[in-house]
Structure 1
Amino acid sequence: MHTLSAHQNNPAASAFELAAIIPGQLRVIKRNGTLVPYTDDKISIAITKAFLDVEGGTAAASSRVHETVARLTAQISATFRRRMPSGGSLHIEEIQDQVELELMRAGEHKVAREYVIYREAHAAARRQREAQAKAQVAASDEALLYVTGKDGQRKPLDTKRLQTLLMEACTGLAEVDAKRIEHEAIKNLYDGVAEADVSTALVMTARALVEQEPNYSQVTARLLLDSLRSEALGFLGLAERATSGEMGELYPQALGVYVAKGIELELLDPALAAFDLDRLGLALQHERDQQFTYLGLQTLYDRYFIHKDKVRFELPQLFFMRVAMGLALNEADKNARAIEFYNLLSSFDYMASTPTLFNAGTLRPQLSSCYLTTVPDDLSGIYNAIHDNAMLSKFAGGLGNDWTCVRALGSPIKGTNGQSQGVVPFLKVVNDTAVAVNQGGKRKGAVCAYLEIWHLDIEEFLELRKNTGDDRRRTHDMNTANWIPDLFMQRVFDDGDWTLFSPCDVPDLHDLTGQAFASRYAEYEQMAQNGQIKLHKRLNAKDLWRKMLSMLFETGHPWLTFKDPCNLRSPQQHVGRVHSSNLCTEITLNTSADEIAVCNLGSVNLLRHIEDGKLNVTRLERTVKTAVRMLDNVIDINYYAVPQARNSNLKHRPVGLGLMGFQDALYQQGIAYASQEAVEFADESMELISYFAISASCDLADERGCYQTFDGSLWSQGILPLDSLQLLAQQRGEKYLQVDRTERLDWQALRERVKRGLRNSNLMAIAPTATISNIVGVSQSIEPTYQNLYVKSNLSGEFTVINPYLVHELKRRGLWDKVMVNDLKYYDGSLQKIERIPADLKALYATAFEVEPRWLVEAASRRQKWIDQAQSLNLYINEASGKKLDLTYRMAWYLGLKTTYYLRALAATSAEKSTVTTGTLNAVAAGGDSALQAAPVPPACSIDNPDCEACQ
């Protein structure tokens, strides 16, 4: 890895890597490749010179011109900072384009014309200098450039190899130009440049073209592979460098060497050496390296590939085979299964979750994604739970903690005759533990605390993420969620009262659900009125509901999750209770003092199963069957940091199969997200996944046996997820539940088969896929498109993200040009205000805040009826107000959702673009309902926040 001082000594090649070294600031890539800080003064000087040329010195010194220059400079800077809130790199040409555009928009046409003439004159001068240089080279018959090798020796630039790399990078991709990349890259090189930095120059050049043609993202990834191959193959002693074509021979050789080296360095499980590595090596498909986008490959390189002393000696196909071998260790025919698993992963049809990708095949195979715990109401138990958090977080687990059992502020402590400080001080310790134990040094620790909303500390709990107040009672680095019984929602609907209790006074409430909860809760309320329970508080349910929504809008927390649908539809209600969800609100498993629930995740890539505009059902069935087998294998291979997790996982064997690329699948079918067709597709696709997953688990039960607690479960009674809706309706009342119950497949036959046995207690959960969707290059989970063009910054650097479907459709209609690119940037990736965009495209390519939230909720409701667990559902609300939030979240409960995740809200009144200098892509501006005066909501994990990747 290059150091900063190395970059300072070699400025022309610094931009690509330095972007990831110095985050949070804007930088400018000059034409010679050097990287300099972005400053306003140079823009101001350039505009002033243009005014001088047009109006002369005296006029240009006028207050009008001075104010105009200052205003335009501020607008230009605000545009870039809004577009790249986490910092990033801009090419000098992009800045000059924006100057030209702002001059035109300001009506300064003469000055803009002078500026264009100025730019063209300088460009002509550069072209002349380049032509002269080429002529001199041709006349002397010498090489254009010399490069410096690793040994310090100078040698001519190998233009033939460079052209081969570019030809391979552009093969099979439409509207990309290898010659253009070569020409632009060579212009930015200098005599004596390090040979390794030639690849960097190629990557930088191709990367700058992504916003003009999305296929350049794949070109960039393929060019990046040249550096990755040199690093890995050199470390393994196989070759100093290799082209893509040469990897057809090198990959089979590399697998055995790689496994041996990994075992020698104590990074890989010695059991991998027992595989037939020659057979597996021949199964590697080198051409699948060509599938990656730049973001996907860079993410793999930075955070997933095995390394020694920061040297990555893993390559993409070795990586996928390592994971496949790690998941096939216990298979009878482990070589055949490893190849089967490899083909599923490397084809991008399915992707395992991040912990599985991190750790499969290593000495510490912690493959599970999230852990759910219940914290007991005693000091030893509380600190044991915090210790468990630390151990689980150390090995890349995300955490969901249920804190409802812990007594409230003011409750008596029998052992000391004192009073409890309540839940909040302990949550501060949990928060700091998550910061201190950062998932094996690979990413930040991540935890979510859950509290049932009858808990007397709930009002303080709601305020944990506020930026004001006593910081000792604030948790800025952890997530929080409300655990809401149906009775509370019914009282909100009926404008009733609500009573808060300390759990030490109402110890059985947390385990009760449905009508049993409602009946017992009413008894406790009566006891409080009679004076039998001293410590309580009575308030209006709607007032508490409004505060919950207000805090959600202001701080992004606590999330709203619903206790009764999670429990009444749980197939495992005969052996326990669901006391909370997990870090990302998609897991609904039982927890107790003896059991820490474990979720084992993976996601089907829907896009890969759309062929000729429709879902390929046969391919989907094949994918799901293999995926469920891989997930079931995780349970037996997994490393368990605490015994309660092993006990729970081996006893119940839950897994969570989800999906990603939902938005891409809609694009491929020409379906707008905000449409009834999209709702129907959500229903159809999830029904198929559910049917095939349950069938696959039946197959595994025939082969391997049922899970231990199968008898007495809903499954054993032939009650499938769809049927469990009736159980919820019976307890809640049909008045409060409206879910479409259409079914298309032969579920009755499957019901009879399920009664005979199932391998896994739980099978489906839709996780956010925050990172793995980047790896395979599709939209995340069930998310709508956030913006059609934006810059994404994460731990791997910065990446231009552009909607390829939109670009290709605009090209087909003759609407894609430089002006369109600028308009997309100006309107933050939205099409709605661009007049020349046809109405059908505005509907099809509407972005997240342009899709009414009811469509998100309705599609989620259709999925939820097929899912035995839950789904990570982000809600996007434009022109947010108290009324809109109230309506949306009531609708979520009414339509049978089990959980919701982040609220992404934009207020009804936003700041003018010209005044915006900082903020995030989805910052909230104050406005709308007076009860919802908002601070910026933290960025969603699906967009720009690496903290939430524990699920995927």
Structure 2
Amino acid sequence: MQQTLSPQPNLLTHNTSNIQVIRRDGSTTLLNIAKIRSVVEWACEGKEVNPITLEAGLTTRLKNGVTTREIQDNLIDCALGMCSPSEPEWRYVAGRLHIWNLWKDVIVSRGYGYGDYAKTVRLQVEANQYDRQILTYSTEELSLAGTWINQEWDKDYDYAGAVLLTKRYLLPDELPQEAFLTCALLLASVEAPQQRLIVAQQFYEAIARRKISLATPILANLRIPNGSLSSCFITAIDDNLESIFGEITNTARISKNGGGVGVNVSRIRSTGSWVMGKKNASGGVVPWIKLLNDTAIAVNQGGRRAGAVTVGVDIWHLDVPEFLEMQTENGDQRRKAYDVFPQLVITDEFMRRVVAKQEWTLVDPYEVRTKLGIELATLWGEQFETAYRQIESELDQTITLYKKINARELFKEIMRSQVETGMPYLAFKDTINRANPNQHEGYIPGVNLCCESFSNVKPGVESHCCNLVSINLANTEETELPNICQLAVRILDNTIDLTNPPFAASKNHNDKYRTIGVGCMGLADWLAKRRLTYDHLSEISYLFEEFGYWCTHASMELAKERGAYSAFAGSEWSKGKLIGAKPLEWFLENARDQERWVNLSQDIQTHGIRNSHISAIAPNTSSSLVQGCTASVLPAYSKFFYDKWAKGAVPIAPPFLQDFFWFYPENKSLDQRKVVKAVATMQKWIDTGISMELLFNLNQGVYFPNEPERCLKAKDIYETLILAWESGCKAVYYIRTVQKDDFKESNDTCVACAN
């Protein structure tokens, strides 16, 4: 309930009669207390806050010559200062005041606010800020679309979301609803002419009401001329100079357009290998990784931020020990790469040997290729295990360049690096490829920058390319989920036809596989509203069964309308298998509603499916702030905390904290085995991957309340990582740690990818 108003605030009794205020257009006027009160009451409307306390906080900040912007900024500062775990809604008041600033600035700059969308489009096209594709629509159609705009939806943002939206995504002289409407119209522009306005309105309402979140490349680049819309890319490098420098160039092109890229280097010969017949001539993978590192820095996405590259190497590669050390401070600085994000691509055989404390052999791919005719990087599962046993049987006879190491000790080195730096990421290669619906066309070498999106890659021929959106579970009710899933899949399939892939191999992939990634955010909020926890695996499973079913069903329906993806014939989909290339029998045993899966399998075999990969859950660290929900599917780090931004500390809290405080577990003190089990439960219904961060609190007594002196040990982290592999998780993203109750964060790479 809103608090009862106290007697008239100090603002009325303060001597303000002679204060001159400078307006945004430069003119002056006498201070009008009524106007300030009107704005304050507007900003506080419907929130559990007392507007009088905000007015009272402003009185000491008024002076002659104050600008209207300064008054507004002071009100924002006051609201932020009053925000607390017991009164978290002040952050929404600050957000509304920030949006008010935006409205006024745009009115001063262009002479009007909302109300003439067709004129806005014309002006933005003339200024070369909007792509001329928007003129596919007539002036009459644009005017009609302008009537859909609901200015009230601008009031839904808290301060963090409002600032990120205006600073990162809006163009000059653009308002939020104009941005969302323009995106919706462009996304619908590939629809049939008689349908596109109907579809565009559905897109707009889902985006503007924050039920569907567009990934950063779509929201930021769709409106501008020649913008690239894809979030995630993966390339692989062959063991020759042409391939190496070709993929470095492609990495630069991806970075220029704001995408995140994964580069697999497992085929490149190791340190000490042969070059032009001379042994010990090769410098291994690290010098080439350093070039990728410097490319990411040099091609800085138009000055917005440095590029973001994850470099993957298979766990059997002879250079793995140096790969693990390339971000340490000691050693030869010429062989360091501090700005890439390392990932290790790990086989089941290695993990089995880790558990059994057996030996593991590191080998040179070039020697294995030339002497045994085996391209080890392309193999997984039983084929890999057979080839690997053959290689080990040839040691000291055919294979001379190798190193034996205890698998458990190597895994300890990996863990040590993860605790110190957050990385390397871990990609479980066999788990990923078993779930690959396109095994008939190749294999998946590793994961993307955020560990959730991946598919077949062929060096120089096909580079994984994927577009992403996320469904906001905090704002979406169960009855809405089928329709929202259908809209999300349609948005992404349309995006494939609108985007301009940055190089030929990515276009080939787009055209062949039509890979998309519909994800989720706000699971912690969905659970809190229902008074559930991350232990409620049955409820989580059914939610994601619904999500997986309706996304897959939507892609099947699109195949009826537009045709199946071109590599469908021979795929696991074509054989009647469903999500994760699992046989129908699995769904009959595990699904709550079995009959619909039987029908879906039959429909896909009859009509095909439009997209080879459909669902992928990204980290959404930044975009979740704009969406006003918790990030991705993980618990909130804390119920309430301040994030340090350039202009000071900003309060961050889940959306339903006021009503469901006790149902938000804090990830900073939550047993991560619960997180792993929950993610593994979701993964069964997600056909690509889930960006799973693990957060370990290293302080005493956090996980062991009855043993106040006990803290987390390496054995506990080890067992959690083993559980992730055994439970069917496809990858482990960052390992983060809490030390002395201080959140130790690694770099936020997901801004360049999904967000």
TM-score by length of 1: 0.73
CA distance in 1, matches of 2:31, 2:428: 64
Q: 1:321 aligns with which of 181, 185, 189?
A: 181
Q: 1:160 aligns with which of 23, 29, 34?
A: 34
1:480-513 CA distance string (max 9 Å, x none) = 1110011111122232211111111223211111
Which residue in 2 is equivalent to 1:784? 635
In structure 2, the CA distance between the partners of 1:427 and 1:652, relative to structure 1 (3 Å rule), is same
Which amino acid letter does the alignment assign opposite residue 291 of structure 1?
A: D
1:565-585 CA distance string (max 9 Å, x none) = 111110011101100100010
Which residue in 1 is equivalent to 2:289? 427
CA RMSD of aligned residues (A): 2.2
CA distance in 2, matches of 1:592, 1:158: 67
1:950 maps to 2:729? no
1:331 maps to 2:191? yes
Which amino acid letter does the alignment assign opposite residue 286 of structure 1?
A: Q
Which residue in 2 is equivalent to 1:658? 519
1:886 maps to 2:736? no
Compare CA radii of gyration and give the structure with the larger one: 1
Which amino acid letter does the alignment assign opposite residue 180 of structure 2?
A: F
Which residue in 1 is equivalent to 2:214? 352
1:863 maps to 2:682? yes
Q: 2:743 aligns with which of 916, 919, 922?
A: 922
Which residue in 1 is equivalent to 2:547? 689
Determine if contact 1:365/1:637 at 8 Å carries over to the other structure.
no
Which amino acid letter does the alignment assign opposite residue 743 of structure 2?
A: N
Which residue in 1 is equivalent to 2:736? 904
In structure 2, the CA distance between the partners of 1:153 and 1:743, relative to structure 1 (3 Å rule), is closer
Q: 1:579 aligns with which of 424, 445, 450?
A: 445
1:645-677 CA distance string (max 9 Å, x none) = 11111111010111000111111111233x2x1
1:297-337 CA distance string (max 9 Å, x none) = 10011111112xxxxx1111011112112212211132222
CA distance in 2, matches of 1:769, 1:602: 10
Which amino acid letter does the alignment assign opposite residue 528 of structure 1?
A: L
Q: 1:510 aligns with which of 377, 402, 418?
A: 377
1:759 maps to 2:610? yes
Determine if contact 1:657/1:765 at 8 Å carries over to the other structure.
yes
Shift of 1:778: 0.5
SS in 1 for 2:41: helix
Which residue in 1 is equivalent to 2:692? 873
Determine if contact 2:521/2:624 at 8 Å carries over to the other structure.
yes
Determine if contact 2:619/2:750 at 8 Å carries over to the other structure.
no
Q: 1:207 aligns with which of 60, 80, 97?
A: 80
SS in 2 for 1:859: helix
1:670-711 CA distance string (max 9 Å, x none) = 1233x2x1x223211111111001110011001111110000
In structure 2, the CA distance between the partners of 1:572 and 1:147, relative to structure 1 (3 Å rule), is same
SS in 2 for 1:252: coil
Determine if contact 1:721/1:868 at 8 Å carries over to the other structure.
yes
Determine if contact 2:190/2:196 at 8 Å carries over to the other structure.
yes
CA distance in 1, matches of 2:277, 2:358: 38
CA distance in 1, matches of 2:670, 2:522: 17
CA distance in 2, matches of 1:701, 1:169: 47
1:324-373 CA distance string (max 9 Å, x none) = 12212211132222211111100111111011000112202311101100
SS in 2 for 1:528: coil
In structure 2, the CA distance between the partners of 1:866 and 1:376, relative to structure 1 (3 Å rule), is same
Which amino acid letter does the alignment assign opposite residue 197 of structure 2?
A: N
1:609 maps to 2:476? yes
Which residue in 2 is equivalent to 1:539? 405
Which amino acid letter does the alignment assign opposite residue 525 of structure 2?
A: D
Shift of 1:642: 0.6
Which amino acid letter does the alignment assign opposite residue 775 of structure 1?
A: V
Determine if contact 2:464/2:509 at 8 Å carries over to the other structure.
yes
Shift of 1:203: 1.5
Q: 2:271 aligns with which of 401, 404, 409?
A: 409
Which amino acid letter does the alignment assign opposite residue 205 of structure 2?
A: N
Shift of 1:557: 1.4
Shift of 1:722: 5.7
Q: 2:510 aligns with which of 645, 649, 660?
A: 649
1:252 maps to 2:252? no
Q: 1:714 aligns with which of 558, 572, 579?
A: 572
1:303 maps to 2:168? yes
Which residue in 2 is equivalent to 1:744? 593
1:558 maps to 2:424? yes
Which residue in 1 is equivalent to 2:666? 847
Determine if contact 2:436/2:581 at 8 Å carries over to the other structure.
no
Which residue in 2 is equivalent to 1:524? 391
Which residue in 2 is equivalent to 1:222? 96
Shift of 1:453: 0.6
Determine if contact 1:770/1:949 at 8 Å carries over to the other structure.
no
Shift of 1:201: 1.7
SS in 2 for 1:552: helix
1:36-72 CA distance string (max 9 Å, x none) = xxxxxxxxxxxxxxxxxxxxxxxxxxxxxxxxxxxxx
In structure 2, the CA distance between the partners of 1:590 and 1:868, relative to structure 1 (3 Å rule), is same
1:103-144 CA distance string (max 9 Å, x none) = xxxxxxxxxxxxxxxxxxxxxxxxxxx97x97684xxxx725
Shift of 1:440: 2.5
Determine if contact 1:771/1:949 at 8 Å carries over to the other structure.
no
Determine if contact 1:443/1:946 at 8 Å carries over to the other structure.
no
How do residues 263-274 of structure 1 correspond to structure 2 at under 5 angstroms? 263-274=125-136
Determine if contact 1:795/1:946 at 8 Å carries over to the other structure.
no
In structure 2, the CA distance between the partners of 1:797 and 1:581, relative to structure 1 (3 Å rule), is farther
CA distance in 2, matches of 1:690, 1:753: 16
Which residue in 2 is equivalent to 1:379? 241
CA distance in 2, matches of 1:567, 1:135: 72
Which amino acid letter does the alignment assign opposite residue 601 of structure 1?
A: L
SS in 1 for 2:311: strand
CA distance in 1, matches of 2:247, 2:574: 33
SS in 2 for 1:400: strand
Determine if contact 2:88/2:657 at 8 Å carries over to the other structure.
no
SS in 2 for 1:155: strand
CA distance in 1, matches of 2:433, 2:529: 37
Shift of 1:215: 1.4
Which amino acid letter does the alignment assign opposite residue 778 of structure 1?
A: C
CA distance in 2, matches of 1:783, 1:373: 28
How do residues 21-40 of structure 1 correspond to structure 2 at under 5 angstroms? none
SS in 1 for 2:502: coil
Shift of 1:149: 3.1
Shift of 1:196: 2.7
Determine if contact 1:450/1:482 at 8 Å carries over to the other structure.
yes
Determine if contact 1:794/1:946 at 8 Å carries over to the other structure.
no
Which residue in 2 is equivalent to 1:737? none
Determine if contact 2:517/2:616 at 8 Å carries over to the other structure.
yes
CA distance in 2, matches of 1:417, 1:883: 41
CA distance in 1, matches of 2:726, 2:144: 54
CA distance in 2, matches of 1:625, 1:662: 19
How do residues 798-877 of structure 1 correspond to structure 2 at under 5 angstroms? 798-803=649-654, 805-808=656-659, 841=662, 844-877=663-696
Shift of 1:808: 4.2
Determine if contact 1:236/1:257 at 8 Å carries over to the other structure.
no
Shift of 1:416: 6.9
In structure 2, the CA distance between the partners of 1:623 and 1:368, relative to structure 1 (3 Å rule), is same
**Structure 2: runs of 5 or more not aligned:** 1-8, 370-374, 699-711
Which residue in 2 is equivalent to 1:279? 144
CA distance in 2, matches of 1:947, 1:663: 19
TM-score by length of 2: 0.91
CA distance in 1, matches of 2:13, 2:163: 38
Which amino acid letter does the alignment assign opposite residue 922 of structure 1?
A: F
Shift of 1:791: 1.1
SS in 2 for 1:147: strand
Shift of 1:380: 2.1
CA distance in 2, matches of 1:723, 1:802: 38
Determine if contact 1:767/1:951 at 8 Å carries over to the other structure.
yes
How many residues were matched structurally?
A: 719
